[in-house]
């Protein structure tokens, strides 16, 4: 058995079984084709909506099916086990809702969550710019107040879901020289004036999930679309990542599990020198190392998700630890899965090369793993006067 798991409450085990059944039956058969065409799979998104899966992790009073971060993480893990690209529709919608959950306004939060759960709304999170990647405080998208409205101008880069999402959380500054203190967050709608999208990026992996620029040109929005306080945007962006990084960890765990399952099955079937390749010690030890890394990644991921649910003050630390470890583990595990398949791992006939390409992005987005190590060390050293 390739999977041994941290014990989850019964309802989460049931959720996992349900998502796995739907994912294997309805999404896995489409995964290679989505990877090949790189087109947004509206039909697969509808499968998630029709099975009420877009409501996983949202409160029942908001139209969700309940559960919190841990439930959402299990859902994302199982989707990513068959298609990481597909998992990004719920991932980025959640990423878009978190700032509203942290800072309001409540009416917009409720409306957005209801829309997501019903399959009427997808959200995106627009922080990155050409000159502001890891250094978020360098962002240059400007906003100004004009009576009872805000007017935004600038270009956000690498925005997941751009073009298909109906709502965007956009971070902008009133004066770039103020750095972090000048940044505010806004809810922008696709149909607001002056909103357009750049060309779709041609990516290494997570195909089927569009990544484009979001261009704002004299985009005028009502003042009640300000999220939280003016000047509070940087803090909201960072707190949002505390909640969302464990979800990327869950995505990485799912990708790694898909690769390990495939490689284990293959090693039991493929014969060379008159034996199953799984009987060679060199291969067995590789599988053992992969399983160890995956198990550690999963436990750290669930711990970070549980920390988010509990409002643990150490959530920043746990989130970065989980995201960094799980994504590094996924990269190593998927690379080893390709190795176990030999030449067959390198060709598109089998899914392991896709898992390897998909794993790479988990080390990059929502803060590169260099940035995660900076966060982890900073949190660690706080206890020592750092």
Query: For residues 72 and 266, which CB has a smaller minimum distance to ligand FAD in the complex?
Result: 72
Shortest approach of ligand FAD to residue 158 CB, angstroms? 4
Write each residue from 45 to 84 as x if it is in contact with ligand FAD (CB under 6 A), else as -, in one continuous string.
Answer: ----------------------------------------
Q: Which of 203, 215, 299, 335 binds ligand FAD (CB under 6 A)?
A: 203
CB 309 within 8 A of CB 341: no
CA atoms of 117 and 99, how far apart (whole Å): 17
Q: Judge residue 340's burial from the number of C-beta atoms within 10 Å of its C-beta, 0-12 exposed, 13-18 middle, 19 or more buried.
A: buried
CA atoms of 231 and 172, how far apart (whole Å): 10
Shortest approach of ligand FAD to residue 374 CB, angstroms? 6
Would you state the structure tokens that stand for residue 40, as one six-digit string?
């947004």
Shortest approach of ligand FAD to residue 358 CB, angstroms? 10
CB 30 within 8 A of CB 37: no
Neighbouring CB atoms inside 10 A of 201's CB total 14
Write each residue from 342 to 371 as x if it is in contact with ligand FAD (CB under 6 A), else as -, in one continuous string.
Answer: -------------------x--xxxxx-xx
- Could you report how far apart the first and last alpha carbons of the chain are, in Å? 44
Q: Does residue 90 interact with ligand FAD by CB under 6 A?
A: no
CA atoms of 374 and 372, how far apart (whole Å): 5
Q: Which of 13, 134, 217, 272 binds ligand FAD (CB under 6 A)?
A: 134
Q: Does residue 160 interact with ligand FAD by CB under 6 A?
A: yes
User: Catalytic site residue 366?
Assistant: yes
Identify any residues that bridge with 216 across adjacent strands, giving them in sequence order. 154, 195
Shortest approach of ligand FAD to residue 72 CB, angstroms? 17
Identify any residues that bridge with 171 across adjacent strands, giving them in sequence order. 185
Shortest approach of ligand FAD to residue 68 CB, angstroms? 22
Which residues contact ligand FAD (rule: CB under 6 A)? Answer: 92, 124-128, 133-134, 158-160, 203, 211, 361, 364-368, 370-371, 374
Q: What amino acid positions are annotated as catalytic residues?
A: 366
């Amino acid at each position: 058995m390739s999977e041994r798991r941290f014990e989850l409450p019964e309802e989460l085990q049931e959720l996992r079984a349900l998502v796995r059944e739907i994912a294997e039956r309805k999404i896995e058969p489409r995964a290679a084709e989505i990877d090949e065409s790189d087109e947004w799979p509206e039909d697969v998104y509808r499968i998630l909506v029709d099975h009420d899966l877009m409501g996983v992790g949202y409160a029942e009073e908001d139209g969700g099916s309940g559960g919190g971060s841990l439930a959402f993480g299990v859902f994302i893990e199982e989707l990513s086990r068959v298609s990481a690209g597909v998992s990004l529709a719920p991932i980025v919608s959640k990423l878009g809702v978190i700032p509203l959950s942290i800072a309001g306004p409540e009416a917009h939060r409720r409306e957005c969550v209801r829309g997501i759960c019903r399959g009427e709304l997808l959200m995106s999170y627009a922080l990155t710019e050409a000159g502001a990647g890891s250094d978020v405080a360098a962002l240059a998208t400007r906003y100004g107040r004009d009576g009872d409205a805000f007017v935004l101008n600038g270009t956000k880069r690498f925005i997941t879901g751009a073009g298909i999402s109906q709502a965007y959380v956009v971070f902008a500054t009133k004066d770039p020289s103020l750095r972090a203190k000048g940044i505010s967050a806004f809810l922008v709608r696709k149909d607001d004036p002056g909103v357009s999208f750049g060309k779709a990026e041609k990516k290494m992996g997570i195909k089927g999930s569009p990544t484009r620029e979001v261009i704002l040109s004299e985009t005028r929005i009502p003042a009640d679309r300000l999220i939280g306080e003016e000047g509070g945007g940087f803090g909201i962006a960072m707190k949002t990542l505390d909640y969302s990084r464990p979800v990327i960890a869950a995505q990485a765990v799912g990708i790694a599990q898909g690769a390990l399952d495939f490689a284990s099955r293959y090693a039991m079937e493929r014969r060379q020198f008159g034996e199953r390749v799984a009987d060679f010690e060199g291969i067995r030890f590789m599988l053992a190392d992969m399983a160890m890394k995956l198990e550690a990644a999963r436990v750290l991921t669930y711990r970070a998700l549980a920390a988010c649910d509990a409002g643990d003050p150490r959530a920043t630390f746990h989130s970065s630890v989980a995201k960094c470890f799980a994504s590094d583990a996924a990269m190593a595990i998927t690379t080893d899965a390709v190795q176990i398949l030999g030449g067959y791992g390198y060709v598109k006939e089998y899914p392991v090369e896709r898992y390897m390409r998909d794993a790479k992005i988990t080390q990059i987005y929502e803060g590169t793993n260099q940035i995660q190590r900076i966060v982890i060390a900073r949190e660690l050293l706080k206890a020592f006067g750092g």
